[in-house]
Homo-oligomer: A and B are copies of this chain.
Amino acid sequence: MVKRPTINDVARRASVSKSTVSLVLRNSPLVRPGTRAGVHRAMAEIGYVYNRPAANLRSANAGLVGLVINDLRNPFFTEFATSVQMDLAARGYAVVVANTDEDPVLQAQVVSAMIEHGVSAFMISPVFGRDDTTFASLARAGTPTLQVLRHVAPEAGRFPFAAPDYPSGSRLATEHLTRSGARTVAFVGGIEDWSVTKERTAGWRAAMAAAGQEPLFLGGRPGRAFGREAAFRLTTLHPEVDGVVCFNDLVALGLLSGCAEIGRKVGHDLKIVGFDDIEECAQAWPALTSVRCDVAGFATQMADTLHRWIDKGIRPVAELRTPVELVIRASSGG
């Protein structure tokens, strides 16, 4: 509202040139301690605040990062986005975020807007579907862009990708269920077209094949509602299923809720494993066995990767997979 004091006002107040003030601002060793102190005093006195966009016009490094997420209301992504934001803030970046709600048009819009705002880099968990306008803009702008958690852009070299090792996760889950005595293990949740669904079912399919079992896949929107619905469907249509690997924890928690409603004992005649290990898993009853992806740790790693790319020019590897582990709790009879 009120016009902010500028570098010129500081210079006048401290009786130096504005170049000197600029040097002080940028912590140059060239300026004498006494001068520096005087400048700092002047800044405090007149309430000077640095104008980053202006500085950025001449130099570079906007200190702004774009974070674009397909479904921010899903606790898995919430945790990821929040952790990334906080980690980047600790490194001095401001984060402009957008939820794309699995909508390719919205995604293209927010990405364009962020490019106009001059973000230094992007971290994106993209929507699926044949829409290249987003990545075309990104390529044209040349902004460093890291795909996380899911990938869609074809040129992996241009848009490096990192995610937890989903296939291993579902393999671990399935083997655990089989070892615990489950005879028929279904996979519940996930949209079949999505690459992430292919990855999350891969380990389960492999384990099923190894055990000589016919894989039963129940696809659906990965939320609680579908999980609840699946509880009824499984019990009615597939009573032989005694083990379930879920696409994510929301589906598993919905399944738990549905089983509670129909009075089906989870952990005994039906063993359930979730995916992601969101915080709620440990608080549920029965507590939910899940594939721990360590989102918070993954987020920290990604924040660091992006920071090194922007600041030090260190390009991330084209594809990175981080290890997952199975956390066994009551829902799988553990």
Interface residues of A (CB under 8 A from B): 1-2, 4, 47, 49-54, 56-57, 62-64, 72-73, 75, 78-79, 81-82, 85-86, 89, 92, 94-99, 101, 106, 109-110, 112-118, 140-144, 224-225, 228, 254, 257-258, 260-261, 279-280, 283-285
Taking a contact as CB atoms under 8 Å apart, the answer to whether B82 and A49 are in contact is: no
Apart from A72-B82, A73-B78, list 17 A-B contacts with CB within 8 A. A1-B142, A2-B142, A49-B112, A51-B118, A52-B118, A53-B57, A54-B57, A72-B78, A72-B85, A85-B97, A86-B99, A89-B98, A92-B113, A94-B98, A94-B113, A254-B283, A261-B285
Taking a contact as CB atoms under 8 Å apart, the answer to whether A257 and B228 are in contact is: no
Closest B residue, CB atoms, query A65: B96
Q: How many copies does the complex hold?
A: 2
What CA separation (Å) do A280 and B250 show in the bound complex? 10
Taking a contact as CB atoms under 8 Å apart, the answer to whether A95 and B98 are in contact is: yes
Closest B residue, CB atoms, query A284: B257
Taking a contact as CB atoms under 8 Å apart, the answer to whether A115 and B49 are in contact is: yes
By a CB distance below 8 angstroms, the chain B residues around A116 are 49-52
CB of A305, distance to nearest CB on chain B (Å): 17
Taking a contact as CB atoms under 8 Å apart, the answer to whether B285 and A260 are in contact is: yes
Enumerate 22 A-B pairs (CB-CB under 8 Å) in ascending A order: A1-B143, A2-B142, A50-B116, A63-B117, A64-B96, A72-B85, A73-B75, A73-B279, A75-B75, A82-B99, A86-B99, A89-B109, A89-B110, A92-B113, A94-B96, A94-B114, A95-B98, A96-B96, A97-B97, A224-B279, A225-B283, A257-B284
